[in-house]
Structure 1
Amino acid sequence: MANIVLGKSPARSLPVTSVVENDVALPVSDEALPEGWLRVESLDIEAQGIARRPDGKVVFIDGALPGELVSANVHRKKNNWEAATLTQIHRESSQRVRPGCPNFGLHAGACGGCKMQHLDASAQVAVKQRVLEDNLWHLGKVKPELILRPIEGPAWGYRYRARLSVRYVEKKGQVLIGFHERKSRYVADMRQCPVLPPYVSALLLPLRDLIYGMDARQTCPQIELAAGDSVTAMVLRHLDPLSAGDLQKLRDFGKQHAVQWWLQPKGPDTVQLLEEGGPELSYTLPDFGITMPFKPTDFTQVNPHINRVLVTRALRLLDAQSHERVIDWFCGLGNFTLPIATQAGEVLGIEGSEALVARAHQNLERNRASSVPALALNASFVARNLFDMTAELLAADGYADRWLVDPPREGAFALVKAVAAIHQARIGAEDAEPLPENARDWQPPKRIVYVSCNPATLARDAGLLVHQAGYRCVSAGVVNMFPHTAHVESMAVFELA
């Protein structure tokens, strides 16, 4: 469990038993705490305060912050720890702020989408930075030579992708649309959501009225938001065919509120536009002159403001030269690949999804055709299961001077394990696998930029690269893609030792 201590103890030249705050004497030592009081020492990644009882038992407290003296209600007990919920704050942290959303909190029906709105935004980033460093060291025994400055952006209105649950509540005679309640399967009664773009937040109540007025109000469980630079797309999941009247209601709503409706009767591959034509759903990467069209069910980053900065920094750290070859592993629809192609001599994008590879090809040709002046974009894409990578398959892709690795939460274990296997065979390590014939002349990349959405799998893969594949971790830092949540996005750079 990764912790960070944010509270500050006052400097004292003599021992004291209490301090005075708001005309109330508060105990300094744990021995002097009144019965039931807890001193919060640190914060875990789930934004739970961590305290210890006199016998050493750890207490995780929802809603508490480091440095606070609190009382809490214990709702779960184990031999070595307890889980509790904050009931009273006796001394408040200087990092505590008023949440920016009325749906946030510990009250009944509170939204479970955010976990850190009560903590100052800069302190949230500090928590995530410590989580990254702790994971790298405790799980991978890796310490970066340089900590990168965090990438930060707007704390509100940033969420351009969201999966909103829809629930018709017959007893209340209303439809609820939003995220689930904290620790519950029920949908929170949300009338606004400040992490959504303001114009989307303003649509929550009109959307409720729309679904309530439809024949299919009981069989539409989900609306998926996918906002581009100029198009707001919504995917309606419907379990039964929609009536002609319902389809017309969607058309009318779309025209009134500038929403592009897509329908999803079954799996993601069944998604189709309600009305063909109209503007294209896309986002831009202005630093590279790239436009990325996408379908609303394609994977794209939730936060477009941060994504632009993330791509720019990743390519600066990659530092690809015009004569070099680069491989972009887990390339998706080309979010990094096409910008790399504006700098490198050649780039190969490899992705497990055939559909995303096809979309990446389309995006490549579109940017070649529409760029003024024309971009050469020497890029190609292939589909391959990267979770079944071996040393032999790795060598078959040929040498690349640099790699960009952007895996899902599972990480890139098979890929880095294949690199490590080749290195271990070459140095004659005990228990090393035989070197594949086609790998005898293969060379590892001199630099790897690894973009991660899970610090635990990054730490695992970093341990392999550093301790078994001959790399140094030259830098690492966090990317605050999801403010107010416990999600930690990060980036690390590895160079051949």
Structure 2
Amino acid sequence: MANFYTPIRKPITNQVKQVEIMALDAFGQGIAKERGKTIFVKQALPGEKVDIRITEDKKHYAKAEVVRRKNDSPQRVQPACQHFGICGGCQLQHASTAIQQQSKQQALQYLLERETGINLNHLSVDVIAANNYAYRRRARLALLVINDRLVMGFRKQTSNDIVNIDMCPILTPNLAKLVQPLRDRLNSLTNKKALGHIEILDVESGIIVVLRHIKPLSEQDKQQLTSFAEQYQLSFYLHGETLVQLTQNGDPYYYIDDLQLTFSPLDFIQVNREINQKMVAKALDWLALTDEDYVLDLFCGMGNFSLPMAKYAKQVVGIEGVNALVEKATANVAVNQRLNNQKTLNAHFYQHDLDHLDKTATWLNTTPFNKILLDPARSGALNMVKQMVSMACSTIIYISCNPATLVRDSKILLEAGYRIDQLAILDMFPQTKHLESMIRFVK
């Protein structure tokens, strides 16, 4: 998920100096050199000469802001959002799609090579991409009352204040057109200060709104929200001490590989529908599953990868730390067998804290796994990767949302005799600094 708050960095000097930008890092910062020191310059692109002011000065690097740009890079484009540069949601709307993807690809390859000592020049790095805008099917908007008016939007780049957005081009069209009427309705409530934040989702079952409130809402306010939900045909939930559904629209669901996955509005789902579809398809391609394969799916959630893999493998075992997700994954198997009347999806799910692995777990010792897929959180999968080495599976696919923990865990697999033979960038969050990737390791 995007981080919308950055501590304020005041200029540490009024001195202005000129530098030339040599490259772009994965976080959207221009890179310049001065007397051997690397300077990271916000919103500057390769080939541009800029006057800068230093905002942070360390021994080996510095950070700076642009005072004046002398020329424009051919890779500079007009941002699509009127809030760009103020809102903290996006960092790269000034850069072309090509240079965004190139900088992330180079950053991942450089980090892997530097930390592991291996050479990846022989690999062709796939870029799995889709729409550059209108892709985000889930977003959390902050709420704040100022002078009895409700402000709704994302955090600013340089403070904890909120940008009162009128539009957001990275949201799906269904969500983008909901922003203003939703804010207007929330402004009509009698106790706006009871509101915390709001989440909006756009999935195949319809639009979902989850309103977090820190104090009980009046019956009048609940009726206002119910009528709004009916007007816009939404599934509306109130999230106080518990989750309460105002409108009875059934459980939300989305599709992946022609399978229907039901979930709770509070559950994690990938925010980019198209990239999720392509990511799962790429994983199936890399695994080349047959009816002789036993697959272990770690951090499986509600079965985003498990169910598609179960269509082709002999057996899939999914492991997840949250028991409610294990129950949903199990229920999703039954739902899809009933809906599709197809061959049995041989997928079984277990709850287990993979950060504190119990090596006596039944699932770990009774199935002859030969392939593994893991999709951990930002903290990675250090303890599980150490166990995976002893399992000696032929193929491991690691999907990552954090390059630092990916590299840390990759070193363990490489030292154990695995090699990287496929590498891909997942352009899950265009216009932002977030770098997601997937790697195939073979024994």
Common topology (TM > 0.5): yes
Corresponding position of 1:479: 426
Query: Structure 1 392/444 Cα, relative in aligned 2: closer, same or farther at 3 Å?
Result: farther
Deviation at 1:300, TM superposition (A): 0.6
Corresponding position of 2:183: 208
Corresponding position of 1:378: 346
| 1:320 paired to 2:289 | yes
Corresponding position of 1:284: 255
Corresponding position of 2:20: 39
CA contact (8 A) 2:24 2:45 kept: yes
Corresponding position of 2:197: 222
Q: Distance in 2 between matches of 1:124 and 1:236?
A: 34
Secondary structure at the counterpart of residue 26 of structure 2: coil
Taking the TM superposition and a 5 Å limit, the aligned residue runs for 1:233-252 are 233-252=208-227
Corresponding position of 2:8: none
Corresponding position of 2:262: 293
Corresponding position of 2:375: 406
Q: 1:452 aligns with which of 394, 400, 403?
A: 400
Q: Distance in 2 between matches of 1:248 and 1:220?
A: 16
TM score, norm. by length of structure 1? 0.83
- Cα deviation, 1:150-202, whole Å, max 9, x if unaligned, reads 100001110011111011111xx421111101121111121000001123112
Query: Structure 1 392/471 Cα, relative in aligned 2: closer, same or farther at 3 Å?
Result: farther
Q: Distance in 1 between matches of 2:216 and 2:33?
A: 56
Q: Distance in 1 between matches of 2:215 and 2:194?
A: 7
Secondary structure at the counterpart of residue 217 of structure 2: coil
Q: Distance in 1 between matches of 2:331 and 2:245?
A: 18
Taking the TM superposition and a 5 Å limit, the aligned residue runs for 1:106-125 are 110-125=86-101
Query: Structure 1 330/117 Cα, relative in aligned 2: closer, same or farther at 3 Å?
Result: same
Deviation at 1:73, TM superposition (A): 2.3
Taking the TM superposition and a 5 Å limit, the aligned residue runs for 1:80-479 are 80-105=60-85, 110-144=86-120, 146-170=123-147, 173-266=148-241, 270-276=242-248, 278-285=249-256, 288-371=257-340, 373-389=341-357, 393=361, 395-420=364-389, 422=390, 443-467=391-415, 469-479=416-426
Deviation at 1:209, TM superposition (A): 1.4
Deviation at 1:377, TM superposition (A): 0.1
Secondary structure at the counterpart of residue 215 of structure 1: coil
Deviation at 1:363, TM superposition (A): 0.8
Q: Distance in 1 between matches of 2:382 and 2:211?
A: 36
Deviation at 1:76, TM superposition (A): 2.4
Deviation at 1:461, TM superposition (A): 1.1
Q: Distance in 1 between matches of 2:247 and 2:234?
A: 11
Corresponding position of 2:43: 63
Q: Distance in 2 between matches of 1:58 and 1:349?
A: 45
Deviation at 1:395, TM superposition (A): 4.8
Q: Distance in 1 between matches of 2:297 and 2:254?
A: 20
Corresponding position of 2:58: 78
Q: Distance in 1 between matches of 2:310 and 2:399?
A: 18
Corresponding position of 1:490: 437
Corresponding position of 1:11: none
Deviation at 1:147, TM superposition (A): 2.8
CA contact (8 A) 2:53 2:67 kept: yes
Corresponding position of 1:3: none
The one-letter amino acid paired with 1:385 is D
CA contact (8 A) 2:21 2:45 kept: yes
CA contact (8 A) 2:321 2:354 kept: yes
Query: Structure 1 390/39 Cα, relative in aligned 2: closer, same or farther at 3 Å?
Result: farther
Q: Distance in 2 between matches of 1:50 and 1:181?
A: 23
- Cα deviation, 1:4-35, whole Å, max 9, x if unaligned, reads xxxxxxxxxxxxxxxxxxxxxxxxxxxxxxx8
Structure exhibiting the larger radius of gyration computed from Cα positions: 1
Deviation at 1:204, TM superposition (A): 1.6
Secondary structure at the counterpart of residue 388 of structure 1: coil
Q: Distance in 1 between matches of 2:125 and 2:244?
A: 42
Runs of 5+ unmatched residues, structure 2: 1-15
Query: Structure 1 263/375 Cα, relative in aligned 2: closer, same or farther at 3 Å?
Result: farther
Deviation at 1:143, TM superposition (A): 4.0
Runs of 5+ unmatched residues, structure 1: 1-34, 423-442
- Cα deviation, 1:444-464, whole Å, max 9, x if unaligned, reads 211111111112211111111
Secondary structure at the counterpart of residue 168 of structure 2: coil
Moved over 4 A (4+): 390-395
Tell me how many residue pairs correspond in the alignment: 426
Deviation at 1:399, TM superposition (A): 2.0
Q: Distance in 2 between matches of 1:194 and 1:302?
A: 14
Q: Distance in 2 between matches of 1:167 and 1:57?
A: 42
TM score, norm. by length of structure 2? 0.92
Q: Distance in 2 between matches of 1:397 and 1:120?
A: 50
